[in-house]
Amino acid sequence: MTKISFASHPFLLGFEQLDRLVERTAKSGNEGYPPYNIEQSSDNTYRITLAVAGFREEDLSITLENAQLVIRGRQVDDSEGRIFLHRGIAARQFQRSFVLADGVEVGGASMENGLLHVDLQRSMPDTVVQTINIEKK
């Protein structure tokens, strides 16, 4: 059976990368940790908020890798010498990835009350009309 994708349509030239992006996003795991919100605060600004209770700023890293915003958290296990009668708050690591569209840039990040906020901003490209000359041969 042949795999048909939207990028194989003859009017969509050069969209193979977008097709691969959609396929990769569909295959990514849907784990629920840490929970997050995505808000649109204006036409060109967004905010991703992750619930990272128990993490310090130095336990978190935010990187931009090939148009993917990657947020990682790794806590140091400081349970040595402590006796837990119940341990419901796990010190586990996580990685959350968000694919950013062309022109979307990270504006900054902040922590407040156990919530990590990452602000995104879409830059508005200038509309360009280009005339193509036809060469005589």
Tell whether 19 is covered by a domain.
no
pLDDT for residue 50 is more than 90: yes
Please name the helix (run of DSSP H) or strand (run of DSSP E) that holds residue 95, with its range, or none: strand 94-99
> CA nearest 34: which of 64, 72, 6, 8?
72
pLDDT of 73-123, one tens digit each? 998 877 788 898 998 876 789 999 998 988 899 999 999 999 999 999 998
Cα 117 to Cα 36: distance, rounded to the nearest angstrom: 10
What's the number of domains the chain is made of?
1
User: Mean pLDDT for the chain?
Assistant: 84
Tell whether 132 is covered by a domain.
no
- Tell me the pTM: 0.71
Cβ neighbours around 50 below 10 Å, total = 21
End-to-end CA distance of the chain: 45
Assign 25 to helix, strand or coil. helix
Backbone angles phi, psi at 19, to 5 degrees: -60, -45
Tell whether 115 is covered by a domain.
yes
> 97 with 70: CB under 8 angstroms?
yes
Strand-pair category, 94-99 with 45-51: unpaired
Tell whether 119 is covered by a domain.
yes
Tell whether 21 is covered by a domain.
no
Q: Which domain, by its residues, includes 93?
A: 31-77+87-125
Tell whether 13 is covered by a domain.
no
More reliable by pLDDT, 130 or 8: 130
CATH classification at residue 71? 2.60.40.790
Cα 2 to Cα 121: distance, rounded to the nearest angstrom: 39
Residues 6 or more apart whose Cβ sits within 8 Å of residue 53:
114
Tell whether 5 is covered by a domain.
no
